[in-house]
Amino acid sequence: MIHRHDFLIIGTGIAGLSYALKAARHGTVAIITKKEKAESNTNLAQGGVAAVMSAVDSFDLHVRDTLATGMGLSHTDAVEVMVREGPERLRELIDVGVRFTQKNGMLDLGREGGHSTNRIVHASDLTGREIERALLQAVAENPSITTFENHIAVELITEHHTAEKRVIDRSNIHCWGAYALDSVGRRVDTFTARVVMLSTGGLGNVYLHTTNPGIATGDGVAMAHRAGALIANMEFIQFHPTTLFNSGSPSFLISEAVRGFGAVLKARNGEEFMQLYDERRALAPRDIVAYAIDTELKKRGDDFVLLDLRHLPADGVREHFPHIYETCLNRFKLDITREPVPVVPAAHYSCGGVVTDIDGRTSLRGLYASGEVSMTGVHGANRLASNSLLEALVFSDRAARASALYLREQSSPIPAVREWDDSGTFNSEEWILILHNRREIQQIMWDYVGIVRSDLRLERAWRRMDLIRREVESFYKKTKVTEGLLELRNIALCAELIIRCAMKRKESRGLHVTTDYRQRDDTHFLRDTLLDD
């Protein structure tokens, strides 16, 4: 089946939905989303959106904080754009119906690590859910937008997929849509559009432990890379230091505020260890705590460390952290006021991705990207807390304007596109192969390409991943596509891209820490890690 629209949007998180509302002013819009509409990283965001919304704050301060966190790699133009346009985008969200928490008739601005003043706009501690709710409602009410749930994009349509199989000139590739597996109807549909917005979110599921929901399998990065788009900075993966061990997928977050309240980190045998890493101990910044825990786990061969709250007044714990207390008690049968909490860091956010300019354009004509899938240049080597929702809002808006203009300029029709052809493939019952490979990749990435890397670990990971990826590709070519197989293929490719970038960066900077090159090296590495093949 062929679906024809002016705009095709892949993903229903903040990036895709906010873009859709603006694109719909210029043409017909199809949004495809992998599962149900609300399944996204956006839906889980707790803290909020960083923006300059008070008289005591300033654009310069927010820019400075963002650049400092990015450790020399953030693009100043992208940061300036995000910070200066942020407040306007936030007001638009309020107009759409998002109810942010207020205090005395004003927005209640929270504070997070790395911000020099209060600037986190939030909806209690469920900010993402509130944003997602309001955006989904506005999209549902818009007659120009059609949403297709349970449609997982398989491949971007480029010259390669035209009826006459045009020769690909790598410097001038066009994107005209995507193939998508209708996982309920069990067929692959063709979606054509002059403009494609890639807003598929992150890739936390490349790792064994992640705070990301199951949808975050790096599909956008993998599809864009296969189509020939420029990818960058995949080595910069942010890990959240404390998530509940074995809490399933996604890992359940134990907020940093728990450490702020006095909880102490200990090894399994009860020894404290944070004093070896930072004089602030458990109150050290996120990266340092994640690094310390990871080092202790590797040194001791343990699977988790303990976060001990037993010395704290039980009433105070229950009062300050009702959600964490009740979830641990009811879902995990763990009374955190009486038992130490087993915790482990988990992959949280990908700073790298599909390279865009400050108008969301990728290196493929007609393909735009926004949100976690993109590399706008804002985050550099590390992400400042709560800048990601803001980044998505600002660059989706700019991409909407740029892509509307692009649409208007196009005069020739989209070339005839071949429909999905899976003749010669078979239905495999080998679910176990997919599951096993997925697990193996996640374990390899966790053990060798996690918080602390080394040449030896990266080489080991590379050899193993190379083998697995070849196996997966060969299996993919013979088999009718399923959601599990598509995700496995994308996870495998993203893992390889992360390793390739990590191997290129022979220094330690921001989220990329390697024991072989412990220092930051501005002479050779004050630049993005680009993958253009």
Ligand X SMILES: Cc1cc2nc3c(=O)[nH]c(=O)nc-3n(C[C@H](O)[C@H](O)[C@H](O)COP(=O)(O)OP(=O)(O)OC[C@H]3O[C@@H](n4cnc5c(N)ncnc54)[C@H](O)[C@@H]3O)c2cc1C
Provide the phi-psi class of 22: left if phi over 0, else alpha when psi is between -120 and 50, else beta.
alpha
- Binding residue for ligand X (CB under 6 A) from 5, 6, 29, 42? 42
Part in contact with ligand X (CB under 6 A); list of ranges 188-196, 212-220, 434-442, 460-468: 212-220
- x/- letters, 130..169, toward ligand X (CB under 6 A): ----------------------xx----------------
- Binding residue for ligand X (CB under 6 A) from 6, 8, 9, 11? 11
10 binds ligand X (CB under 6 A): yes
> Which residue, among 431, 259, 237, 432, has the nearest Cα to 336 in the 3D structure?
259
Output the CA–CA distances (angstroms, integers) from residue 46 to 42, 123, 127, 319, in the order listed: 9, 8, 5, 18
12 binds ligand X (CB under 6 A): yes
Smallest distance from ligand X to CB 214, Å: 9
Smallest distance from ligand X to CB 153, Å: 4
Smallest distance from ligand X to CB 340, Å: 23
- Binding residue for ligand X (CB under 6 A) from 90, 328, 347, 392? 392
- Binding residue for ligand X (CB under 6 A) from 26, 34, 209, 259? 34
Smallest distance from ligand X to CB 218, Å: 8
199 binds ligand X (CB under 6 A): yes
128 binds ligand X (CB under 6 A): yes
Smallest distance from ligand X to CB 202, Å: 6
Contacts of 417 (CB under 8 A, 6+ apart): 2, 157, 161, 162, 163, 176, 177, 190, 192
Dihedral of alpha carbons 235, 240, 242, 248, sign: negative
> Which residue, among 11, 12, 35, has the nearest Cα to 134 in the 3D structure?
12
Q: Alpha-carbon distance 283 to 261, whole Å?
A: 9
- Render the burial of 127-154: b for 16+ CB within 10 Å, e for the rest: bbbbbbbbbbebbeeeebbebbbbbbbb
User: Which pair of structure tokens corresponds to residue 186?
Assistant: 């069990």
Contacts of 84 (CB under 8 A, 6+ apart): 59
**Around Cβ 269, how many Cβ atoms within 10 Å?**
8
Query: 3-state class of 2 per DSSP?
Result: strand
Q: In what order do the strands lie in the sheet with 2-4?
A: 2-4, 187-192, 177-182, 151-157
∠ CA(366), CA(367), CA(368), 5° rounding?
A: 115
Q: Which is nearer to ligand X, 178 or 274 (CB)?
A: 178
491 binds ligand X (CB under 6 A): no
286 catalytically annotated? yes
- Using CB under 6 A, count the residues that bind ligand X: 44
User: Which pair of structure tokens corresponds to residue 226?
Assistant: 């296969």
Q: Which is nearer to ligand X, 212 or 403 (CB)?
A: 212
Torsion of CA 187, 193, 196, 199, to 10 degrees: -40
Smallest distance from ligand X to CB 196, Å: 12
Q: Alpha-carbon distance 456 to 454, whole Å?
A: 5
Smallest distance from ligand X to CB 389, Å: 4
233 binds ligand X (CB under 6 A): no
Part in contact with ligand X (CB under 6 A); list of ranges 59-67, 169-177, 297-305, 367-375: 367-375
Q: Which is nearer to ligand X, 32 or 274 (CB)?
A: 32
DSSP state letter for 91: H
DSSP state letter for 133: H
206 binds ligand X (CB under 6 A): no
- x/- letters, 237..276, toward ligand X (CB under 6 A): ----------------x-----------------------
Task: Choose the catalytic residue: 89, 194, 286, 453.
Answer: 286
- x/- letters, 403..422, toward ligand X (CB under 6 A): --------------------
Residues of the shown chain interacting with ligand X in the complex, contacts defined by CB under 6 A: 10-16, 32-35, 39-42, 44-49, 127-128, 152-153, 199-202, 211-212, 215-216, 219, 253, 349, 371-373, 386-389, 392
Please give the positions annotated as active site. 286
